[in-house]
Amino acid sequence: MANEVILLDFWPSPFGMRVRIALHEKGVEFEYRDENVRNKSELLLKMNPVHKKIPVLIHNNKPVCESLIIVQYIDEVWSNKNPLLPSDPYQRAQARFWADYVEKKLYDCARKAWASKDEEQEAGKKEFIEHLTVLEKQLGDKPYFGGDSFGYVDVTLIPYYSWFYALETEGNLKVEESNPKLIEWAKRCMQRESVAKALPDEKKIHGFLLELKKTLGIE
C-alpha cells in the first residue's frame, strides 16, 4: 500500500511537535502543512470536525486526531523501526500513565505562568515547577523516561522544552535551578535528530508568545 502522509500542524504547537518527532523517529516521509489556527482550512475542518484542532495526521486520506493518539498510531503502523511504546503490557501502562500526567498537568499551569499576573501567575509558576519535579523524580537516573531508549513519554514531554525559554523570560523563572536533571534529559533528547528537527528555535517561540500576548491584549 502506498503511504500518503499529510500532517496538518501549526509550528509552535507542542502537540504538533510530538507528531513530527514520532514521524522523524520512524523515518516516515510526510507533507507538512502549516495551518492558520485563526483561519482554519476547509481540509482541517473536514478532517477534524469534532475538535477542529491541529495536529491531524492524514494517512491515505484517513484522518487521525489528538496528538497522543496519533503518536500511538504511528508507533503501531511503522512498528519496524524505533518502537516508542514498550512491548511489555505493564511497562506500556506505565508509559501511558506518565504521558497522561504530562497531558493533564502541564498545559494549564504553563499558560497561567505566562498569561496571568500577580497571585495567579505565581500559582501557575509554582504548579508548573511542582509537576516538573514529579516528572524529574520519575525520570530518576535513567537516560530516558522508559529506560535506555527514547520513547513515548519523552516524545510527549520534550516539546515543552522549546517553550521553556519563553516561559522563563515571561514568567521570570529558571527551570534549570529547580530541575537540573530534567534539563540534562532535555539536552540529551535534543541530540536526537528527530527532536532537533521537530522543535523550533526557543527564541522564535518567544517571539511568537510576545505576538500572542499582544493579540490577546496581555501586557
Identify which of residues 44 and 173 has a Cβ nearer to ligand GS8 in the complex: 44
Of 6, 8, 17, 54, the one binding ligand GS8 (CB under 6 A) is 54
Looking at beta carbons only, is 7 or 183 nearer to ligand GS8? 7
What residues from 15 to 44 belong to the interface with ligand GS8 (CB under 6 A)?
Answer: 15, 37
Q: Among 24-32, 63-71, 125-133, 177-185, which window interacts with ligand GS8 (CB under 6 A)? A: 63-71
- In the complex, minimum distance from the CB of residue 142 to ligand GS8, in angstroms, rounded to a whole number: 25
* Nearest-approach distance from CB 15 to ligand GS8, in angstroms: 4
In whole angstroms, give the CA distance from residue 21 to residue 99.
Answer: 15
Stretch that binds ligand GS8, among 8-16, 111-119, 126-134, 163-171 (CB under 6 A): 8-16
Q: Which residues contact 24 (CB under 8 A, 6 or more apart)?
A: 193, 194, 195, 197, 198
Backbone φ and ψ for 56, nearest 5 degrees, come out as -130, 130
For residue 115, CA distances in Å to 37, 136, 147 come to 19, 25, 35
For ligand GS8, the closer of residues 36 and 87 by Cβ is 36
Closest to 183 measured CA to CA, from 151, 140, 136, 137: 136
Which residues ranging from 133 to 192 are in contact with ligand GS8 (CB under 6 A)? none
Round to whole Å and give the CA distance between 80 and 188: 24
Q: Does 52 bind ligand GS8 (CB under 6 A)?
A: yes
Nearer CB in complex with ligand GS8: 155/183: 155
* Residue 1 beta carbon to ligand GS8: minimum distance, rounded to whole angstroms: 25
* Cα distance between residue 2 and residue 16, in whole Å: 24
Beta strands (DSSP E) in the chain are 5-9, 31-34, 56-59, 62-65
Q: 109-135 burial string, b = 16+ CB within 10 Å, else e? A: bbebbbbbeeeebbebbebbbebbeeb
Which residue from 6, 30, 55, 199 is in contact with ligand GS8, where contact means CB under 6 A? Answer: 55
Phi-psi region of 52 (alpha: psi -120 to 50; beta: other; left: phi over 0): left
* Interacting residue with ligand GS8 among 20, 24, 26, 53 (CB under 6 A): 53
Asked if 66 is part of the footprint of ligand GS8 (rule: CB under 6 A), the reply reads yes
- Residue least distant from ligand GS8 (Cβ): 53
Interacting residue ranges for ligand GS8, rule: CB under 6 A: 10, 13, 15, 37, 52-55, 66-68
